[in-house]
A and B are shown apart, each in its own frame.
Chain A
């Protein structure tokens, strides 16, 4: 009850503050247009933002332990989040600074115009790519190696339940989490990337083909895609994977190949729709007509005339689709038909360790076990989308 009352009072204070801000602004600046034409809602927003900021700072400096010695989970999680946020922001800033002074004239110019979000995204993607490529060298242990201590907590401090040999702890059967996270970059990201590329190749080329040829070809393909899209994708994938696992037999790697193809085909239906719609808008342009009248073949029309003009929406879709594929693979892995153990996979790691999230209130470090893999997924998703946003902005900016 008292929480609600506090909130209500705070809200009233902010409301009054907004009015006061605008009034004071008008009086002090002699009716500058900024304050004169400021709607009340905007003034309210400024004060609300300021209040949230003050609260955040206050909350950040709350003690992490109660006097009885039990941890205050909320404050701890909040501190981690803020520290990570500031850390990444600083890293992104430094990375951009580096980019502005190192490299070719073109890349320096690119970094000069880059927003911080995009440099953050690029930095994260580069780190992931680096980890994925050099996983074998970087990981302290093998991804399938099993150790004595199970469920060691992150931190490497024996006093808090950690183990100095395993900086990020171990899972229920004693595998080193740091190593598995690093190998996960290789498996999960690599496979998801390959799948998305395949889906875009399939859906994109067929979509453009349908847009260019139209007529019965378009009809047949579009209706086939409608049918595929009508079946819930996860269940459909599961069904196909069950069949595929029978085909693959004991060849585990073959199952992974089947999974890539199945997810690529299912996701290519979405890409097909987008490519067809975008392509439709492009094929009505006069330059396509000019190329047709020149006697150009289909391949030239699609890859030289249409594709360069469709990259912006396709790139945006690529970012989104990549994240979806990523999550689909994680879901399938959890259900036992995706990436096969003992290969490390972030989705499987989250699932395996998921029950530890229940301990969040008593032992934040325990809850961090599943959060690390989840955070790895989230970070990449955010990074990819930041980069895609920026690329979109750039390509649309060039157009006008």
Chain B
């Protein structure tokens, strides 16, 4: 008996598009030994999820395995009957999806869903499996392991749900688990807990795993070996340390280099300069509950203020107050030293024009039924009164500014563009109003690293050319490092710390800033181990956050 668990040879996968089969994976080999963790990285569309699923002998609708072979522990998965596969999946091969919230059935309690696979496969009786589930919850350091299983999915937090999902995958003690971006949707502080739990449990049960992600720093912590994919082809594969220290291919090197983009610091703002936007003592509430408490900060001409914090910290609410969507209960907003009406409906056309917004999800920010020309042309027509020929010329000029060829893109629909291109259109729409101030709400968090870097560089260039001011809402500290001039750290609706970027990244920090900073994964493969040792394993996670509050 060999120690090879999964063996994929020259696997080719095709997807159906416009009545022809287009290749998605173009002949990739993959070998996984027992108890080994393989990291699969690549941009979206690189085929990493497809390849991960193929390791289970499975492919999504509209996708087919066109050639090659997949064997799992000596069983040929492509030739196996549906019945044979049914016996393997869930029992010996498990899958953890990106969104735990979407993968749990909201109508059943966690433990009921946990015991399903073991009981179905006849591995354990129900009572025994329930006990085992509680044991796993304890191992994964979920709070109240004895009771948490009897809650419904909506009653636990996202990070806890992701750990419960991992526990569920572990229920039958499988030989192989496929993790498909399990921490992408989580905050950095929560991500640490999930990463630590996954790593611990995989080691403890000696489970082999395929870990799919686009975040290099994450994969560096988890994987023994890394395989880099690009458009369905393997770029290179090596041991984690080897790969991190000596990437061979240009593409891999460029991935590594992304994190190094940084803007030169700007000279300090003159003491008496009027800020473009000034947030003054804002307290705002949804219904009767205050979600912002006395928030104040200034944004000066040509500067970028990054607002950082976990989800729920009030970053986006601050943006809603500035745009006038949520009139504050106390305090107010000044634009160029003049008070803005609290409600956007009372603001003049010119005041509305000055404050523009770029959204996180370009998919929902662009009307899917309108062409680029219409989307970008509308503010041009609305604010500047340009029509016909002049409007089209201005749109072309704007597209030029965001580095998209106008002739090719002006008649496209959002569905005919990639994520990065859509985000650029969002930027063009904001620019079309010729504003002074743009709010960027997590504009890069839904994008791949290389694409995100392109967007950040574009924003930086536009700032220099047009003297724009940005408020940059983000939870990603790497982004902050690369683009911000000043940083505002928020927690529970309050500003905990603010100041120039360089000061923020230099100790001493506020305790919460410290937690945020130290939770950002680094490329060093020992980072997580060291961090856990430093924090003390038992002190990790919720306990650490509670202490801060």
A294 to B413, CA, bound (A): 21
B361 proximity list for chain A (CB < 8 A)? 286
Looking at the assembled complex, report how far the CB atom of A6 sits from the nearest CB atom of chain B, in whole angstroms: 36
- Supposing A36-B81, A293-B325 touch, asked if A286 and B349 sit within 8 A by C-beta, the answer is no
Instruction: List B331-355 residues whose CB lies under 8 Å from chain A.
Output: 344, 347, 349, 352, 355
Other-chain contact of A308, B325, B349, B356, B369 (Cβ < 8 Å): B369
Q: Is the CB of B325 within 8 A of A305?
A: no
B303 at the interface (CB under 8 A from A): no
B205 at the interface (CB under 8 A from A): no
Looking at the assembled complex, report how far the CB atom of B363 sits from the nearest CB atom of chain A, in whole angstroms: 9
A67 at the interface (CB under 8 A from B): no
Q: With CB as the reference atom, state the residue of chain A lying closest to B356.
A: A293
Other-chain contact of B366, A287, A294, A295, A296 (Cβ < 8 Å): A287
A37 at the interface (CB under 8 A from B): yes
B415 at the interface (CB under 8 A from A): yes
- Supposing A286-B361, A399-B415 touch, asked if A295 and B349 sit within 8 A by C-beta, the answer is yes
Most interface-central of A292, A294, A308 (chain B CB within 10 A): A294
- Supposing A293-B352, A295-B352, A399-B415 touch, asked if A305 and B368 sit within 8 A by C-beta, the answer is no
B383 proximity list for chain A (CB < 8 A)? 294
A398 at the interface (CB under 8 A from B): yes
Report the interface size for chain B: residues with CB under 8 A from the other chain.
30
B356 proximity list for chain A (CB < 8 A)? 293
Q: Is the CB of A399 within 8 A of B352?
A: no
A287 to B413, CA, bound (A): 14
Q: Is the CB of B323 within 8 A of A287?
A: no
Other-chain contact of A286, B81, B364, B382, B433 (Cβ < 8 Å): B364
A400 proximity list for chain B (CB < 8 A)? 415
User: How does the 8 Å CB contact mask read for A304-316 relative to B, with 1 for contact and 0 for none?
Assistant: 0100110000000
A290 at the interface (CB under 8 A from B): yes
B324 proximity list for chain A (CB < 8 A)? 293
A290 to B361, CA, bound (A): 13
Q: Is the CB of A287 within 8 A of B364?
A: yes
B82 at the interface (CB under 8 A from A): yes
B493 at the interface (CB under 8 A from A): no
- Supposing A293-B352, A399-B415 touch, asked if A37 and B82 sit within 8 A by C-beta, the answer is yes
Q: With CB as the reference atom, state the residue of chain A lying closest to B360.
A: A286
Q: Is the CB of A294 within 8 A of B81?
A: no
Most interface-central of A290, A296, A399 (chain B CB within 10 A): A290
A352 proximity list for chain B (CB < 8 A)? none
Instruction: List B29-79 residues whose CB lies under 8 Å from chain A.
Output: none
Q: Is the CB of A294 within 8 A of B433?
A: yes
- Supposing A36-B81, A37-B81, A399-B415 touch, asked if A293 and B368 sit within 8 A by C-beta, the answer is no
A145 at the interface (CB under 8 A from B): no
Looking at the assembled complex, report how far the CB atom of A359 sits from the nearest CB atom of chain B, in whole angstroms: 52
Q: With CB as the reference atom, state the residue of chain B lying closest to A296.
A: B382
Q: Is the CB of B370 within 8 A of A308?
A: yes
Most interface-central of B82, B366, B369, B415 (chain A CB within 10 A): B369
Instruction: List A1-37 residues whose CB lies under 8 Å from chain B.
Output: 33, 36-37
Other-chain contact of B344, A37, A286, A293, A398 (Cβ < 8 Å): A293
- Supposing A37-B81, A295-B349 touch, asked if A290 and B365 sit within 8 A by C-beta, the answer is yes
Q: With CB as the reference atom, state the residue of chain A lying closest to B83.
A: A37
Looking at the assembled complex, report how far the CB atom of A389 sits from the nearest CB atom of chain B, in whole angstroms: 20
Q: Is the CB of B344 within 8 A of A292?
A: yes
Other-chain contact of B378, A33, A285, A293, A294 (Cβ < 8 Å): A294
Q: Is the CB of A289 within 8 A of B382?
A: no
User: How does the 8 Å CB contact mask read for A194-238 relative to B, with 1 for contact and 0 for none?
Assistant: 000000000000000000000000000000000000000000000
Q: Is the CB of B323 within 8 A of A286?
A: no
Other-chain contact of A290, B347, B357, B368, B369 (Cβ < 8 Å): B357
A43 to B81, CA, bound (A): 17
A33 proximity list for chain B (CB < 8 A)? 81
A204 to B257, CA, bound (A): 53
B105 at the interface (CB under 8 A from A): no
Q: With CB as the reference atom, state the residue of chain B lying closest to A395.
A: B369
B327 at the interface (CB under 8 A from A): no
Q: Is the CB of B382 within 8 A of A293?
A: no
B359 at the interface (CB under 8 A from A): yes
Looking at the assembled complex, report how far the CB atom of A291 sits from the nearest CB atom of chain B, in whole angstroms: 8
Q: Is the CB of B368 within 8 A of A399?
A: yes
A293 to B364, CA, bound (A): 15
Q: Is the CB of A285 within 8 A of B364?
A: yes
Looking at the assembled complex, report how far the CB atom of A126 sits from the nearest CB atom of chain B, in whole angstroms: 27
Q: Is the CB of A398 within 8 A of B370?
A: no
Q: Is the CB of A398 within 8 A of B415?
A: yes
A308 to B371, CA, bound (A): 12
If A285-B364, A294-B382, A305-B367 are given as contacts, then 16 extra A-B residue pairs at C-beta distance below 8 Å, sorted by A number, are A36-B81, A286-B359, A286-B365, A287-B366, A287-B367, A289-B357, A290-B365, A290-B429, A293-B324, A293-B352, A293-B355, A294-B352, A294-B383, A295-B349, A309-B368, A398-B415
**Closest 3 A/B residue pairs (Cβ):** A308-B369, A286-B365, A37-B82
What are 22 A-B contacts with C-beta separation under 8 Å? A36-B81, A36-B82, A37-B81, A37-B82, A37-B83, A285-B364, A286-B359, A287-B364, A287-B365, A287-B366, A287-B367, A289-B357, A293-B325, A293-B344, A293-B352, A293-B357, A294-B352, A294-B382, A294-B433, A308-B367, A398-B413, A398-B415
